[in-house]
Amino acid sequence: MKLRVTLAVLGMTASVASAQEAVPQASNQWFADAQAKLEEMLQREQITGRARNVILFVADGNGVATNYATRVFTGQQDGGYGDEYVQPHEDFPYLALVKTYTTNGLTPDSAPTAAAFNSGVKAKNDVINVTDAVNVGDCAAGAEDEVALLSEIVSDAGKSVGIVSTARITHATGAAVYARTVSRDYEDDTLVPEGCDQPDIAAQLASQMNDGVIDVVFSGGRRHFLPDGETDAEGEAGSRGDGRNLIEEITGEDGTYVQTQEEFQEIDTSGVEGPILGLFEGSHMLYEADRANEPSLAEMTEAAIEVLSRDEDGYYLMVEGGRVDHANHAGNLARTVRDGRAFAEAIALADEMTEDSETLIVVTADHDHALQFNGYCGRGSDILGLCMGVNPDGIEHTGEPNLASDELPYTVAGYLNGVGSVLIEQVEVDDADISQPVDPDTGAAAGDPRPLYQGSRPMVTQEEATDLDYIQQALIPMPSETHSGTDVALYAKGPWAHLFDGTIEQNVIFHVMRYATMEAEEE
């Protein structure tokens, strides 16, 4: 049986053309394209040499739904219907689904999920690179907990390490590359509670850069590195209370520090020595749609690769599209997909700059969001706009919006919860009307006052829905849209990328990256 299967596979490539001619639909373009894809897949070869480099791309909150929205948006921006477009990472040969739950959360946050990439273990929500034995905020237990990070492992082997992020570098995803903390909120010393001896996250980056573990950082978050008596290039005050200027501590005499686009462009990536620190905002970097006087994610990725690739032993680079997550939280899909497109551009550039034979590239997300899509929309409906009718006599939509049972049009995309909720708090209702019995299962005592929410969907036009600042309609009222616990996709290429297969636990990603770069046999 095994011999027959092997012979069938070996002969399949040769028979593709004849099989294509054997069926009446062979001249159909969809059929021909699928046959071509089959031939490509049959020629695919696994790369099993040791990876010199590994690049981990994480678009924060870029679940399957957000990835889909970005794909359609980009394709439509390029003049197509959108759904047929292929993003750079979607053309990678290997794919897996990743479970994102944490040890105490069906729905995760970015701290333990990003830590799973960098330490190989799952843990509780809100902690970074400590084990499940440690509770949130337990400084004493955290001090006793030993977890080695991928950055430290590869640095000990002589490799260089870089971090690129559009969020604050002390925010959860970027921090997971270098820090250990019992609370993701401990970004500087003023946020660490009295009596907790754990160093704040910014101080940990300073230590890791001074120790030579982290070599290149491009991100935001200047305020956590400056004392409260000093201001940055934009006149924003630092927030540290201990008087330390961590930027000066990191760069010293031989390091490089940049704050603006102009300073960034002056970096001699072919010859610069010492640590490189680029902090382009006091907090998070700007959304791609609003970006000014700071480099794009692709530009930062390119510079980081140029610097890190000078190391003959190779490198580990983590690149985060951090603001994909923030725009989702705001219910602002227009900015979400623009940051998603910028993320894809960084992937394409990194792929062009590296060789498949020596660089493992992994593209994934830390978690999903409560974003979903309505039906039944005709092809070419603007992903940011109204859901147009399906055209029975052609391909493109009818141009007439579908109507819901309330006789109002609806957008292609919406959120299950968030600030765009169609339910509005009735602030003018008197106390007697909002004191209602509450189900004991909710944990509130019967008779406790609670706000009464009522509402109906407002009318929305195509012009309103496609505006950059439009907030998608949502159901459940929330001050910020929430994460989702659903699986996320992972795309990979390069050495040992074929190990990413099926449905895997999130912490497995660390183990494949470590194996590919540290344990696999060299060819």
- Residue 430 has a pLDDT of 46
Whether residue 329 is annotated as binding a ligand: the answer is: yes
Q: How far apart are CA 387 and CA 399, in angstroms?
A: 9
Q: How far apart are CA 89 and CA 97, in angstroms?
A: 14
Whether residue 325 is annotated as binding a ligand: the answer is: yes
Q: How far apart are CA 92 and CA 360, in angstroms?
A: 11
Whether residue 397 is annotated as binding a ligand: the answer is: no
The total of other beta-carbon atoms located within 10 Å of residue 105's CB is 18
- Name the token pair of 44: 């695919």
Residue 440 has pLDDT above 60, yes or no: no
- CA 156, 272, 285, 491 dihedral sign is negative
End-to-end CA distance of the chain: 33
Whether residue 369 is annotated as binding a ligand: the answer is: no
- Strand segments, DSSP code E, in 273-393 are 276-279, 315-321, 359-364, 368-369, 371-373
- Name the token pair of 160: 């260089």
- Residue 235 has a pLDDT of 92
Compute CA distances 81 → 72, 159, 382, whole Å.
Answer: 7, 44, 9
Whether residue 366 is annotated as binding a ligand: the answer is: yes
Nearest to 97 by CA among 396, 435, 481, 503: 503
Whether residue 171 is annotated as binding a ligand: the answer is: yes
- CA 305, 309, 311, 313 dihedral sign is positive
Helices and strands, counts by H and E, the chain: 16, 17
Name the strands in the sheet holding 474-477, side by side, starting at the edge strand that comes first in the sequence.
371-373, 413-418, 474-477
Nearest to 300 by CA among 207, 128, 174: 174
53-370+483-519 is a CATH 3.40.50.2300 domain = no
- Name the token pair of 21: 């001619």
The pLDDT confidence band at residue 276, using thresholds 50, 70 and 90, is very high
Q: Could you tell me if 246 and 203 are in contact, meaning their C-beta atoms sit under 8 angstroms apart?
A: yes
Q: How far apart are CA 360 and CA 73, in angstroms?
A: 28
**Amino acid letter, 299:** E
Instruction: Tell me the whole-structure pTM to 2 decimals.
Output: 0.93
Residue 442 has pLDDT above 70, yes or no: no
Domain boundary assignment for the chain: 53-370+483-519, 380-431+448-481
Q: Could you tell me if 142 and 134 are in contact, meaning their C-beta atoms sit under 8 angstroms apart?
A: yes
Residue 222 has pLDDT above 50, yes or no: yes
Residue 153 has pLDDT above 90, yes or no: yes
- Name the token pair of 521: 């046999």
Instruction: Return the active site residues.
Output: 110
Reduce the secondary structure of 378-431 to three states and give it as a string: CECCCCCCECECCCCCCCECCCCECECCCCCECECEEEEEECCECCEECCCCCH
Digit-coded pLDDT (tens) for 62-111:
999 999 999 999 999 999 999 999 999 999 999 999 999 999 999 999 99
- Name the token pair of 238: 């630092």
The pLDDT confidence band at residue 451, using thresholds 50, 70 and 90, is confident
The total of other beta-carbon atoms located within 10 Å of residue 81's CB is 16
- Residue 20 has a pLDDT of 54
> What integer is the mean pLDDT of 47-76?
98
- Residue 438 has a pLDDT of 42
Name the residue with tokens 């497995």. Answer: 508
% of the chain exceeding 90 in pLDDT? 88
Q: Could you tell me if 55 and 302 are in contact, meaning their C-beta atoms sit under 8 angstroms apart?
A: no
Digit-coded pLDDT (tens) for 317-346:
999 999 999 999 999 999 999 999 999 999
Q: What backbone phi and psi angles, to 5 degrees, belong to 455?
A: 160, 175
Digit-coded pLDDT (tens) for 465-479:
999 999 999 999 999
